[in-house]
Chains A and B, each alone.
Chain A
Amino acid sequence: MPLFQKDRKNVILLAGLVLAHLILISIQVPLGGQISYFEKAVFSLLTPFGSAASSASRFLSESWNNYFYLRRVRSQNLKMRDELFNLRQENNLLRNLTEKMRGELGIRAETSRYFRSFIVASVIGLDLSNVNRSIVINRGGGDGLKPGMVVLDRAGQVVGRTTEPMIDHSSRVQLITDEQSGTSVFTLKSKAIGILKGDGQGRCRLEYILSTNPDVAEEEEVLTSGFDDVFPSGLKVGRIVSIVGTTSLFKRILVEPYFRLSDLRQVAVLTEDLKEF
C-alpha cells in the first residue's frame, strides 16, 4: 500500500511538471521572439560554467601547444631577428612614405576609430537543438554589447547578430544560417538585391530574385546591402552555389556562407554603426 501511495505521488508530481512545461511552452507563443525572465535566469546561471570550462580547455590546449613551440623557439628566434631588422627598415621607409601622403593625425584618428569599433569575443557554446541556429559568446551587456549588433568572423565575414538572452558577460548570437534570420544582401557582379535567409542546415537561401533576372550566376559573391539597418553595407556573406529556375516568380538560389562553424573560436562584434565606411 505505501508503495502504491508513493507511485501515486510521483504520478501526480509528473503530471504537475508536464502541465508546468506545457504552460511554459504555450505562454511563449504569443511572446514571439521575446525571451522570458525565467529563460534569462537559467541562461545567466549556466553560462559562467560554460565560459570557465571553455577557458580551461583553451588554457590547456594553449599550454600544450606552447610547449612544442618552445622547443623550436631558439632557431626561429635567430631567424626572426634578421627578419625583424629587415622589416623595421621597410617599416620606416613605408611610414615616411605614408606620412608624406596623408597627415599623421588623420591616420591615427582613422586607426583608433577602427579599433574602437569592435569587441573580440570567444565562442563558448553552440546551439544544442541545431548547431546552425545560434552560438553563445563570452561578451554581453556589461561589455557594451546590445541586441542586434553585427558579429563577424576573424576574416571580417558575416556570422550573424547578437540577440537575447544577453547578460553581463554572455550573449547569444543568431547565425545567418538560422531559418528565422533575414539579411538584406546584393550580388557583387549582377547587383541583384534580395533577402538572405538561413536554411537551418548550414547554408542560406537568397530570396526575392526574379526568375526573369538573367544576370545572377553561380560562384557570384554575396555582400550585405545595408538596407536592413542592421548589417553595414559591403560585408562579405558568401557565394552562390546553385541556382534553380522555377515556374514561380522567384529563383531558388542557394548561398554557401563564408564563415565556418568548425573554425569559429573567436568572433568580432561591431559595437558602432559602420555605414559611413
Chain B
Amino acid sequence: MRNTLEAAAGILIAVILTTLISRASFLVPMVNVFSWVVIHFALEKGELAGMLLGTSCGLLQDSLSLGVFGVAGLSKTLLGYSAGFVSRKINVTPFGRNIIFLLILSSLELALWLALAMFIFSRKLDTAGGAIFLQPVVTSLAAGSITKLSHRWRRIAS
C-alpha cells in the first residue's frame, strides 16, 4: 500500500513538474521528469516497481503528445526494468558510478524511443537543435541526485 502511494505521489509530482517546465518551451526536450521518477523507483524498489511505473509514466507521457500511443510506454518499461535489474546485480551506490550507469541507461532509453518513433512515423524526428541529446545528461544528474538525497534523508531519519 505504501509503495503504491509513493508511486502515485511520484507520478503526481512528475505531472506537476512537467506542466510547470512546459511554460519554458526550450526546457521541454531536455527535461523528462517521468524518466527521473521511473529510475528513482527502479533503483529503490527493484525491477518490478520500475517496469510497472515505467509503463504508467510512459503512457502518461504518450498522452501528452500527438502521435502513436505506447512508444514512450514501451521505452520507459524497459528503462524501469533494466535500471532495477542491473542495480541489483552490480553496485551502483557510489554517486559517480551511479551517474555513469544512469547516463548509459537514459541514453539507451532515448535511443530506443527515437528509433521506435522514427520507425513508426517513417521520418526524421525533430531533435530541437540537438537539445534532446542533453536529456540523458539531465536525467542522469537529476535521478542520481534524487537517489543520493533520498539515501541521505533516510540515514538522517533513522
Contact = CB atoms under 8 A, between A and B. Distances in A.
Interface of A: 10, 13-14, 17-18, 21-22, 24-25, 28-29, 36, 38-39, 42-43, 46, 49-50, 52-54, 57, 124-134, 136, 163, 165, 172, 174, 178-180, 200-201, 261-262
B69 A38 contact: yes
Nearest to A264: B25
A40 to B, nearest CB: 9
A266 B32 CA distance: 24
Interface string B27-38: 011001000000
B96 interface: no
A165 B66 CA distance: 9
Nearest to B16: A53
B126 A130 contact: yes
Given A24-B70, A24-B73, A125 B25 contact: no
Contacts of A25: 68-71, 74, 116, 120
B51 interface: yes
A262 B22 CA distance: 9
Contacts of B65: 127-130, 133-134
Contacts of B123: 179
Nearest to A38: B69
Interface of B: 12, 15-16, 18-20, 22-26, 28-29, 32, 47-48, 51, 55, 59-74, 77-78, 81, 85, 116-117, 120, 123, 125-126, 128
A125 B69 contact: no
Given A21-B70, A42-B69, A128-B28, 20 more contacts: A10-B47, A10-B48, A10-B85, A18-B77, A22-B74, A28-B69, A28-B70, A36-B69, A39-B63, A49-B15, A50-B16, A50-B64, A125-B18, A129-B71, A132-B126, A136-B64, A178-B66, A200-B126, A261-B25, A262-B25
A24 B69 contact: yes
Nearest to B132: A130
A174 B22 CA distance: 16
A53 B20 contact: yes
Please give me the 6 A-B residue pairs with the lowest Cβ-Cβ distance, nearest first: A129-B65, A21-B74, A134-B66, A24-B70, A126-B22, A53-B16
Given A42-B60, A262-B26, A125 B70 contact: no
A126 B28 contact: yes
A53 B20 CA distance: 7
Contacts of B26: 262
24 contacts: A10-B48, A13-B51, A14-B78, A14-B81, A17-B55, A22-B74, A28-B68, A28-B69, A38-B69, A42-B62, A46-B63, A49-B15, A50-B64, A52-B16, A53-B15, A53-B20, A54-B20, A125-B19, A125-B22, A126-B28, A129-B67, A131-B22, A131-B25, A262-B24
Contact of B64 (A125, A179, A201): A125
Given A14-B77, A49-B19, A43 B63 contact: yes
Contacts of A38: 69
B128 A131 contact: yes
A163 B65 CA distance: 12
A28 B68 CA distance: 7
A205 to B, nearest CB: 13
Contacts of A13: 48, 51
Nearest to B21: A126
A17 B48 CA distance: 11
A133 B120 CA distance: 16
A132 B65 CA distance: 10
Contacts of B126: 130, 132, 200-201
Contacts of B32: 128
B11 to A, nearest CB: 9
A10 B66 CA distance: 31
Contact of B61 (A28, A36, A128, A132): A128
Among A29, A43, A49, A180, the one with the most B-chain Cβ atoms within 10 Å of its Cβ is: A49
A29 B71 CA distance: 12
